[in-house]
Amino acid sequence: MAIETIQQRFSDRLKTRRSEHLYRQRPLAFGPQQPQMQINGLCCINFCSNDYLGLANHPQIKQRLIAALQNDDISYGSGAAHLVTGHHLEHHLLEDELADWLGVERVLLFSTGFMANLAVLETFAQKGDVILGDKLNHASLVDGALHSEAEFKRYPHGDMTALEKRLQQAQAKEQQAVIVTDGVFSMDGDLAPLPEIQELARKYHAWLIIDDAHGFGALGQEGKGTLNHFNLETDCNTLQIGTLGKAFGCSGAFVAGSETAIEALIQFARPYIYTTASPQLNAVAVRQALRLVKSADKERRHLQELIQQFRQGAQQIGLKLWSSPTAIQPVMLGASETAMRWSEELKQKGFWVAAIRPPTVPQNQARLRITFSASHTVEEVDALLQALDEIHRQESSAKV
């Protein structure tokens, strides 16, 4: 390979990405995270946040943080990794409370969900093992699998026949199989068929890793997630991974599992061992958020009502929806250019909705990724549907 500058390596690639309507830019938000926001100077209603329960700007969390700041026992920075001096009492209490909530032996905190997924897969999937991952798994699960020393095979999305075939192949080779799946798929919004996956895992003695970033808080009794939504129980060969920056409205992530599994991460997971602990104040905020999550049945019901309202209205308009029962509602548009155009037109009408394009989603499956929060109102959803109807009519007229 020829010696080159950074400019030479990336200039043409950046131009190509822009010409293919795949260029990414960071929108600049002003004010707190909530449905009514100012983004890039536009006053708009935000329909692309993962703040499913509306906790990101909740007054009780703010009040708890103000009280904590007045406490001499709390600093903002943790100062070191958990294994040095960074593991504060607030972190420890939060881990215990999360474990009690989920009914597992232990929970371990991480700074981000991406880091948690890397740590789990690098640690548990070892040379000679095989990771079996759903084709639509989150990028962090894919990267974690690629960074491990295990063989990595992907099965078609939600295809249990294909998964069982791969499990049979692993069994014939005497390989330890590790099944990895999202609980709620972040771009499609559909649920993994966890009852069937768990049955196959137990039948073939496979380990099961579930990234439930978009399930915890929004689904299940007390928001306990996708496993609970399906009335399933965890076991010693199952790990659940959750983020605290979505339904919890805070930051960070956690891994929930057995005593042995958590101790293995503490001892062997490089992304855990060599990372500064998250701020003490974030643990304070999450502990308050957990109380709100557990008692948020009214908010979860309202969220489901908004989802049904949108799906019924979108179908009447004639929009192409995905089969999603969750707060993630993709409107399928196909071409990246079309998705960008719809997104821009919605912004001009006062709605912030992200256009999702390859490589985040497959080619020719560009979409609007509309997400709902319990903080949204019926009137705001009606207004969004009206705006979508206007754009759809304009597009249809232009094609005639």
Any idea which residues carry the catalytic annotation?
Answer: 186, 214, 246
Q: Report the alpha-carbon distance of residue 49 to residue 121 in Å, rounded.
A: 27
Of the candidates 11, 220, 204, the residue with the CA atom closest to the CA atom of residue 102? 220
Is 214 annotated to bind a ligand? Reply is: yes
138 is in an annotated binding site: yes
How many Cβ atoms sit within 10 Å of the Cβ of residue 171?
A: 15
Residue 113 annotated as lining a ligand binding site? yes
360 is in an annotated binding site: yes
How far apart CA 124 and CA 321 sit, in angstroms, is 37
16 labelled binding-site residue: no
Q: Which two tokens stand for residue 318?
A: 């004639």
Q: Strands across the sheet with 177-182, in order?
A: 106-110, 253-257, 238-243, 207-211, 177-182, 130-134, 151-155
The residues with which 30 forms a beta bridge, in sequence order, are: 38
Helix or strand or coil: residue 226? helix
Report the chain's terminal Cα–Cα distance, integer Å.
51
Q: Has 377 been labeled as part of a binding site? A: no
Phi then psi for 283, rounded to 5 degrees? -65, -40
DSSP assignment, residue 276? B
Binding residues for pyridoxal 5'-phosphate: 113-114, 186, 214, 243
Pick out the residues of the known binding site: 24, 113-114, 138, 186, 214, 243, 360
- Annotation: binding site for substrate: 24, 138, 360
